[in-house]
Copies of this chain bind each other. A is one copy, B any other.
Amino acid sequence: METEKKVEEILKKNHLSITGGRRKILELFLQGDGALSHSDIEKKAGEKFDRVTVYRTLQTFLEKGVIHSIPTADNSIRYALCKDDCSGGHHRDDHVHFICNSCGNTVCLEDVAVPEIKLPRGYLSEQVEMLVSGVCKSCNK
């Protein structure tokens, strides 16, 4: 199966041992194209995994650069897969995130770059996050 290979590839590339939990969570990310919150994952994974495992797995994936986190206004961080080129720790995650107010989905707009901005004198920018909310392609019909 295609997904299964990808899962193993990602885990191996990041020197992570291949376990059931990591497999399952990666599959979820590969299947749906949207971002997932912690509770999304808990629900979709069925009753199979302990809550703590999900926390720790997400934590590990974050550290390795497998996923990135997307802050949201409703206090529920979401996570999405990183593209290939940002694995290995340094993290190039300069695309816009879109949250649909209709269906609630969060997606990465990989093709929309975050524009440069000029900060006031004295401020040093290290990372920029851009969060657009509105109506997504699927709901806007």
- Using a CB–CB cutoff of 8 Å, the interface residues on chain A facing chain B are 69, 71-73, 75-77, 96, 98, 101, 109, 111-112, 115, 117-137, 140
Select one of B69, B111, B120, B125 contacting A73, CB under 8 A: B69
| CB-CB under 8 A for A119 and B131, given A73-B69, A73-B71, A126-B101 | no
B73 touches A75 (CB 8 A): no
| CB-CB under 8 A for A132 and B128, given A73-B71, A98-B123 | yes
Which chain B residue lies CB-closest to A102?
Answer: B124
Cβ contacts A to B, 8 pairs, < 8 Å? A101-B126, A117-B132, A119-B132, A120-B137, A122-B136, A123-B134, A123-B140, A127-B133
Select one of B69, B115, B127 contacting A117, CB under 8 A: B115
Q: What distance in Å separates the Cβ of A115 from its nearest Cβ neighbour in chain B? A: 5
B134 touches A122 (CB 8 A): no
* Bound-complex Cα distance A118 to B98 (A): 12
* Bound-complex Cα distance A71 to B119 (A): 19
Q: A71-B131, A117-B132 are in contact. List 17 more A-B contacts (CB 8 A).
A: A71-B71, A71-B72, A71-B73, A98-B119, A109-B119, A112-B117, A119-B132, A119-B134, A122-B137, A123-B135, A123-B140, A124-B140, A126-B133, A126-B134, A129-B130, A129-B131, A129-B132
Which chain B residue lies CB-closest to A136?
Answer: B123
A134 touches B130 (CB 8 A): no
